[in-house]
Amino acid sequence: DAKTTQPPSMDCAEGRAANLPCNHSTISGNEYVYWYRQIHSQGPQYIIHGLKNNETNEMASLIITEDRKSSTLILPHATLRDTAVYYCIVKKGGNQFYFGTGTSLTVIP
């Protein structure tokens, strides 16, 4: 599975869009990009995943660059409850998700 690089921490004002970047320059053609978040003391929460097309669901949007070497998770209107550690994971078919250190997002009132 390809390695991912994320900034260790970010701040976002409440009500604004939070844009969380992820670099995965060694991604291969059959690897998907997944985003999870973990709010303190809870289990990881699935947010969204995609292969090469941009994806949107009720929680967020995932923008994957054309060369697939990076992606951005967008939370359109951040709330205080979005404060969490966000993990970007690149994985092909297989059984283990490798969670790195992620980005600690703090939403500021």
Partner 1 sequence: NAGVTQTPKFQVLKTGQSMTLQCAQDMNHNSMYWYRQDPGMGLRLIYYSASEGTTDKGEVPNGYNVSRLNKREFSLRLESAAPSQTSVYFCASSRGGQGSNQPQHFGDGTRLSIL
Q: Residue with structure tokens 């999870």?
A: 36
C-alpha to C-alpha distance for 55 and 33, rounded to whole angstroms: 11
Q: Among 43, 66, 67, 81, which residue interacts with partner 1 (rule: CB under 8 A)?
A: 43
Residue-wise DSSP of the chain: ----B--SEEEEETTSPEEEEEE-TT--TT-EEEEEEE-TTS--EEEEEESSS-EE-SS-EEEE-TTSSEEEEEESS--GGG-EEEEEEEE-SSS-------EEEEEE-
- Spell out, one character per residue from 20 to 39, where the chain touches partner 1: x when CB under 8 A holds, - when not: ------------x-x-----
Q: Is 1 in the site for partner 1 (CB under 8 A)?
A: no
Q: Among 5, 46, 79, 80, which residue interacts with partner 1 (rule: CB under 8 A)?
A: 46
Q: Which is nearer to partner 1, 75 or 87 (CB)?
A: 87
Q: How many residues bind partner 1 (CB under 8 A)?
A: 20
Q: Is 69 in the site for partner 1 (CB under 8 A)?
A: no
Stretch that binds partner 1, among 17-25, 58-66, 72-80, 96-104 (CB under 8 A): 96-104
Residues at the contact surface with partner 1, assessed by CB under 8 A? 32, 34, 41-46, 49, 91-101
